[in-house]
A and B are shown apart, each in its own frame.
Chain A
């Protein structure tokens, strides 16, 4: 028998009851409308009499329960990976934000652990325009997610190439490495979600990688030169010499012995940490 294509479309429409349950889970007005006139609401969702009777057989509260179960699971996953961000937003405002996310976009990834990132990507531009949201909050969310992202990145732990660093070659970098730049010194904030210390505004260029033995994310605060250099090495895949020249040019500095010494020291440190893995 020829295997069927699992990814081909077969049934274009969901059963009406299934579609209604889905809508109840994403529609922010669902609880109020079910409480006011459940039968009318289900009719507005396109359900005929038999489907309405079926869904209401256990009472409208059960339909709201499904919504609560779905939202609680997703919100808890988000709170789990961004505890300080969610706590600083406050339960009520976070709940309203999440309702908006569910109504307008909702999770798309099959992995529950991706939901916090999906939510943050949706909410960040909205927070940027909201007067009641601290200006640093979206960046704090990104900073918190980075920890989980790097610790669980599928790549990482690759072997050393066996070739020494060379000016004319690009470098192999551990697959877990991320470069992230923040406008605040979040690394100085207490980790307690109840703490409300306002983060210090400071340019904070970070190289984050996964420790090969403890499997934890480690953070290195880079200089502006280190940032420019590593951005070219990691993100552009540049060979060392052009990366050095471009990094100095970006900062309006000469490529002199001082910068060569700084780069050599940085490379040696990163090689010792298993971040740089030799010349490619």
Chain B
């Protein structure tokens, strides 16, 4: 899959609390793009709608949805897909992403991200639905790996192999959430580097960075309610060193701090990103030299 053309660099997930200030230009020169959840703006007028129009004039927009329920069953809601398609056209998002999970069944929507089995049957099912959505929306799709706290059923492969199979079958992009892989590694005692070495990095079209919190004594939950841990920065750097320039997004949904604090965290993420890009260039040069030398 050829990586679709779009913004690269560092961005922020746009939240209602910051709309006014972002519309006034508070993130000019700070971010390379913004990401929005279309469900927060679709079928909605008033203040949010007016501010988003001003924001879209200032920043490139990427679209990241919550409600496709790619691992669910039943037909997609045609009204929802039509509205989403129109919304993507208006905001100019070069692709649309959603989560590798199910969010509801039998017409009932749980508004959360629940796991599916890591199996061939499941991969085939999800991939088929990704292709259906892609064709309806008329633009590339990417799927995001989720934080999962229990298995979604009997599996015949691990999560990384499952993700690779879905992406391969659907020929879609991967939105790699490095916080989610770290949360899963902590919760399930798995090797995060083994995970990263098995997912298809050549399909990564975007990266998410976030913080997580301890929920119960033995469980970490992807709350997007804290700063990203240093280990998440290390994972980001490892991935970017191999992918090269991609859009890297900071997600924050809970314990929302003043915008200045997020700007400060974004500066740290940018430093990590740029150092990784520099190493990526070194790797590319080294690979080129090695290639010439062996001819």
> Is A22 in contact with B117, judged by CB distance below 8 angstroms?
no
Distance of A9 Cα from B151 Cα, bound (Å): 26
Hey, which bits of chain A sit against chain B, CB under 8 A? 3-22, 25-26, 48, 50-51, 53-55, 57-58, 61-63, 65-66, 69-70, 73-74, 77, 105-113, 115, 151-157, 175-176, 210, 215
Closest chain-B Cβ to A107's Cβ sits at a distance in Å of 5
Given A65-B219, A69-B221, the answer on whether A55 and B151 have CB atoms closer than 8 Å is: yes
The answer to whether B121 has its CB under 8 Å from any CB of chain A is yes
Whether B216 pairs with A65 at a CB distance below 8 angstroms is yes
Chain A residue with the shortest CB-CB distance to B109:
A107
Q: A14-B72, A111-B43 are in contact. List 5 more A-B contacts (CB 8 A).
A: A14-B102, A14-B105, A18-B72, A18-B102, A54-B117
CB pair B75 A9 closer than 8 Å? yes
Residues of the B chain whose Cβ atoms lie less than 8 Å from the Cβ of A7 = 75-78, 81, 136
The residues in B between 66 and 122 inclusive whose CB is less than 8 angstroms from any CB of A are: 67, 71-78, 80-81, 102, 104-112, 114-117, 119, 121-122
Query: Does A215 lie within 8 Å of B47, measured CB to CB?
Result: yes
Residue of B46, B81, B153, B187 near A18 (CB, 8 A) is B153
Question: 8 pairs across A/B with beta carbons < 8 Å?
Answer: A10-B128, A17-B116, A17-B117, A18-B117, A22-B110, A58-B149, A69-B112, A151-B47
Q: Tell me whether B117 and A61 are in contact (CB under 8 A).
A: no
Specify which of A25, A53, A70, A210 is in contact with B154 (CB 8 Å cutoff).
A53
Q: Once bound together, how far apart are the Cα atoms of A105 and B149, in whole Å?
A: 26
Query: Which of B81, B115, B152, B155 lies at the interface centre, i.e. has the most chain A CB atoms within 10 A of its CB?
Result: B152
Measured in the bound complex, the distance between the Cα atoms of B102 and A6 in whole Å is 16
Which B residue sits closest to A155, measured CB to CB? B45
Q: Chain B at the A interface: mostly helix, strand, loop or mixed?
A: mixed
* Chain A residues positioned under 8 Å from B32 (CB to CB): none
With known contacts A5-B132, A15-B116, A112-B39, A73–B111 Cβ distance under 8 A:
yes
Compute how far the CA of A156 lies from the CA of B122 in the bound complex, rounded to whole angstroms. 44
Among A6, A152, A210, the residue within 8 A (CB) of B76 is A6
In the complex, are the beta carbons of A110 and B149 less than 8 A apart? no
Closest to B119 in A: A15
- By a beta-carbon cutoff of 8 Å, the part of chain B in contact with chain A is 39, 42-50, 67, 71-78, 80-81, 102, 104-112, 114-117, 119, 121-122, 125, 128-129, 131-133, 135-136, 149-155, 187-188, 215-216, 219, 221
Instruction: Write out the residue numbers on chain B whose beta carbons fall within 8 Å of the beta carbon of A113.
Output: 44
Are the C-beta atoms of B46 and A153 separated by less than 8 Å? Answer: yes
| 3 A-B pairs with least C-beta separation | A17-B153, A106-B108, A215-B47
Chain B residues whose C-beta falls within 8 Å of the C-beta of A110 in the assembled complex: 39, 67, 77, 80, 109
Question: Does the CB pair B125–A11 fall under 8 Å?
Answer: yes
Query: Nearest Cβ distance between residue A113 and chain B, in whole angstroms?
Result: 8
Known: A106-B109, A108-B107. A16 touches B76 (CB 8 A): no
CB pair B108 A108 closer than 8 Å: yes
Query: Which residue of A has the minimal Cβ distance to B84?
Result: A110
B44: chain A residues at CB < 8 Å are 113, 152, 154
Interface pair B150/A55, CB less than 8 Å apart = yes
A77 to B112, CA, bound (A): 13
**Which residues of chain B come closer than 8 Å to A108, judged between CB atoms?**
107-109
CB-CB nearest in chain A for B113: A69
Q: Which of B77, B107, B125, B131 contacts A4 (CB under 8 A)? A: B131
A182 to chain B, nearest CB (A): 23
Chain B residue at smallest Cβ distance from A106: B108
B151 and A57 within 8 A (CB): yes
Cβ-defined contact, B46 with A215, below 8 A: yes
Tell me the bound Cα distance from A105 to B109 in angstroms: 10
Q: Considering only CB atoms, which chain A residue lies closest to B49 in the complex?
A: A154
Q: In the complex, are the beta carbons of A152 and B112 less than 8 A apart?
A: no
- B74 / chain A contacts, CB cutoff of 8 Å: 9
Nearest A residue to B156 via CB reads: A50
When the two chains form the complex, which single residue of B71, B75, B125 contacts A8, counting CB atoms closer than 8 Å?
Answer: B75
Residues in chain A near residue B71, CB distance under 8 A: 18
**Does B152 contact A17, Cβ atoms closer than 8 Å?**
yes
Q: Do residues A107 and B117 form an inter-chain contact, with CB atoms below 8 A?
A: no
Least CB distance, A202 to chain B, in whole angstroms:
29
Min CB distance B152 to A, Å, is 5
Report the separation of the CA atoms of residues A62 and B115 in the bound assembly, to the nearest whole angstrom: 12
Q: A4-B132, A73-B111, A112-B39 are in contact. Are A153 and B153 (CB under 8 A)?
A: no
Name B133's closest neighbour in chain A (CB-CB): A6
- With A and B bound together, what is the CA distance between A50 and B151 in angstroms? 11
User: What is the CA–CA distance of A58 and B151 in the complex, to the nearest angstrom?
Assistant: 8
Contact A54:B151 (CB < 8 A) given known A13-B73, A65-B215, A70-B110? yes
CB of A13 to closest CB in B, whole Å: 7
Q: Are B45 and A153 in contact (CB under 8 A)?
A: yes
Contacts of A175 in B (CB 8 A): 45
A240 to chain B, nearest CB (A): 27
Q: Which of B46, B50, B122, B149 contacts A15 (CB 8 A)?
A: B122
